[in-house]
């Protein structure tokens, strides 16, 4: 899959697997392998899309559960909190069965496409975003309730105010969701199928290279993924300090 040119001549044999891992990470980055770039791009596309959709669902859901108290609300919160621990393979399996040609949504032919991967990761990330948002907003609601009530703010306005004032905490929630999505391998492996050039992402590529026994290349890919996550987090921090 990757053509690796080691810039640091033939000294590679002297290094152990760990050392070789860093060397192959360096050469992957230096050579800017087009295969690597497209895999990295797909990883980001799938995970960022999933996080984006999860935020659209999770933020209002969290706000709703923080603002309204109704019978069964506690139960819903417990369920949402436990869904944060959903095993990726289980989500992968469920999405596989739903999207399989023999499943209820089989007619759309979505299995083994990036869309299927986005659906699976959205299911994984939404509970994290929803549950953490609820906790943050509920804490904030204790401080704000008298003030918002005195202003006679509508329910929608109150929830919007809570979301807006918690935006910096929610940015961290978003990053937690992104971390879960980008690092996950179980679900995308099952619903994506790890097809070269189509549904191969960083984590499934790492699993594949490990299974081929190319341990140093696998580790190199892992380091590249780690650096990418670092860059995304640094960008988020930059935005935060700028507008804080």
Which residues of this chain interact with another protein, rule CB under 8 A? 1, 44-45, 48-49, 52, 100-103, 106, 109, 111-115, 118, 193-196, 198, 210-215, 235, 238-239, 242
Contact in structure between 61 and 131 (CB atoms under 8 Å): no
* Other C-beta atoms lying within 10 Å of the C-beta of residue 85: 8
**How many of the other CB atoms lie within 10 Å of CB of 215?**
15
CB of 52 to another protein, least distance (A): 6
Q: Cα separation of 155 and 196, whole Å?
A: 49
Q: 62-72 as b/e, with b when 16 or more CB fall inside 10 Å?
A: bbbbbbeeeee
CB of 2 to another protein, least distance (A): 12
118 close to 52: Cβ distance less than 8 angstroms: no
**Positive or negative torsion for Cα 208, 213, 217, 218:** positive
- Our CB check for another protein shows the closer of 95 and 162 to be 95
Whole-angstrom Cα Rg for the chain: 21
Of residues 69 and 242, the one with the C-beta less far from another protein? 242
Q: Which is nearer to another protein, 158 or 216 (CB)?
A: 216
194 φ/ψ angles, rounded to the nearest 5 degrees: 55, 45
Q: In whole angstroms, how close is the CB of 13 to another protein at the nearest point?
A: 13
- Nearest CB to another protein, comparing residues 113 and 133: 113
Contact status, residue 198 vs residue 46, Cβ threshold 8 Å: no
- Minimum Å gap between C-beta 109 and another protein is 6
Question: Based on CB atoms, which residue is closest to another protein, 115 or 158?
Answer: 115
Answer for the pair 120, 187: CB distance below 8 angstroms, yes or no.
yes
How far apart, in whole angstroms, are the C-alpha atoms of residue 182 and residue 229?
8
Closest CB to another protein among residues 169, 210:
210
For the CB of residue 110, give the shortest distance to another protein in the complex, in Å: 9
């Amino acid at each position: 899959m990757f053509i690796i040119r080691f810039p640091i001549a033939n000294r590679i044999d002297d290094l152990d697997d760990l050392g070789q891992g860093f060397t192959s990470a360096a050469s992957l980055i230096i050579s800017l392998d087009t295969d690597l770039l497209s895999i990295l791009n797909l990883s980001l596309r799938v995970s960022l899309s999933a996080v984006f959709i999860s935020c659209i669902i999770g933020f209002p859901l969290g706000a709703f559960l923080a603002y309204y108290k109704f019978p069964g609300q506690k139960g819903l919160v417990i369920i949402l909190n436990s869904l944060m621990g959903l095993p990726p393979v289980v989500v992968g399996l469920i999405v596989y069965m739903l999207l399989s040609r023999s499943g209820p949504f089989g007619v759309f032919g979505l299995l083994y496409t990036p869309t299927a991967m986005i659906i699976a990761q959205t299911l994984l990330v939404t509970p994290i975003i929803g549950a953490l948002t609820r906790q943050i907003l509920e804490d904030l609601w204790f401080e704000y309730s008298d003030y918002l009530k005195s202003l006679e703010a509508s329910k929608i306005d109150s929830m919007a105010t809570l979301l807006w004032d918690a935006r910096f905490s929610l940015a961290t929630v978003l990053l937690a969701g992104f971390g879960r999505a980008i690092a996950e391998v179980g679900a995308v492996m099952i619903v994506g199928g790890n097809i070269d050039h189509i549904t191969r992402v960083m984590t499934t590529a790492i699993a594949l290279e490990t299974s081929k026994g190319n341990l140093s290349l696998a580790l190199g890919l892992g380091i590249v993924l780690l650096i990418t996550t670092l860059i995304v987090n640094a960008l988020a921090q930059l935005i935060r300090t700028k507008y804080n």
